[in-house]
Chains A and B, each alone.
Chain A
């Protein structure tokens, strides 16, 4: 039984891969511009939002365009307009998953929500007792190179598995491929369930919690803190980092009016 991905996601993927390739090529020519473009990133994004966005109230759309602004500001105007239109379409479908530009890692000042990273780790459930780690390795290596497999075993019968396991691929596309093919598929006579798992964030995010001081839980516990929990952690734990961003992110409304005429392009 093959799970069909939604068409919108497929379109997004194609477009995101195209965008990524373009950004890498243009970055070579624009290394000198990187500093200037960061300062103008806000202005260019605001200008783009005026020109292309009809609804001023949709912060999420604007936010994503802004986060891509760094790579976009480097390119020529014509190209960026094309992409704005495409991004507008995409924004309507599913705003949360578009932006993947890696060049804005440091400079993403205004938008507090980093894009959801594509998962490389998947959870496989409803495995039978006959299925071993080697079986899982054999079956799931069909979809891509596996980085690691976490196969917890039953406490009382160590030769049996617990019925689920985690497989991590080297890249997210393989993980998605595996999910597409194996979710609802059959192993040893039963239907298995394959689902993505958000990668655990590094430990430092838990640092400030008084409860966990002195005993950092191992990586595996972080698996239980799914995406929602992770974002909430960020908002609670590192206000010093986060709130200025929020404040800045509200400013586009004001800046748009002030800078609309001063587009660098």
Chain B
């Protein structure tokens, strides 16, 4: 039996990069000529998962099964579960939706995660501490590339997340968003007594990768008010670590009784943790090990609900949920896999200049005297003579006519760039046609219907 069941959340719409996801759902956006969803799948496959539950929408399922360009190159068995897009389900809702399928602890991954993390780091925390939750975070990266349509440097006006970890940097003690901290950062003294050294970190991104105990999923099933894992469940669990009811032995006994009596009507809160195995409990009681200094108290101060976080100090970890992140991911993704940069089926003329850091997709046609640097060219794209492409993402089926100069731009699928156009730092929506000799700088070029929606 598998230790962990992997669940891939791929139903998100990509609301923060509408210009890109207008035609292509977020899970299928090409990154390094592979659909975005391939990256988390590959991550799971690399560590040996054989089966993944993929939660997604019907659209995505259809495109995966029909569109050859979206073919997922994975050997794992994919158990695709579709949810209705209109239902506006959060990640926790989705988890609740598939509760029947869940037999063990789960590993939940978001489809927009591109990382080279050693996944065992997260899982080991989960195992070693018999944790209720362990998750992955990473130091936030500065996006260096210019983002189309964005005037100047984006100001750091976003509300920061405050994440508190203990002295070892593993135990997750505190989590709050700046927006909720009008009263200042408030921490109970009892927490500080148990974990006297708390690191408060602000420059972190949550990778949306969680190991959760099965009991948490059961808890979700009973507690329908929680709809998002990151927004509600995780903060709830983090807080709950130190709440009295979770730790007092009296309730523990009650819970034990309930377990015997199979009483379902108990307060759902306490079900999260009481399913510790008897032997495990016994071993903990008998062990002289404890996790703190200063006194000889019980390990974990008797706390039964524990949250841990692995924070990546180095390496790559991106969540592709904004245009900036998408561009950055495309720039870095080729480093993740060792494949031929130029697909064998691409038709490329003799005299060309293609940088080593570029990727040319299958059945592309690249004409003479082109120069392609630090760019990705999607499948079946056509690039004519004397075209210069630098620092750009060209999606599937794009046609670029003679003498164009494309720099720092994203050209969505099916777009046509007419002869001699000069495009710098633009986003060209799918199916758009750019007039010959047009000069565009720092614009978002999308169809009118698309604009209406925004």
Partners in one complex: no
B-contacting residues of A (Cβ < 8 Å)? none
By a beta-carbon cutoff of 8 Å, the part of chain B in contact with chain A is none
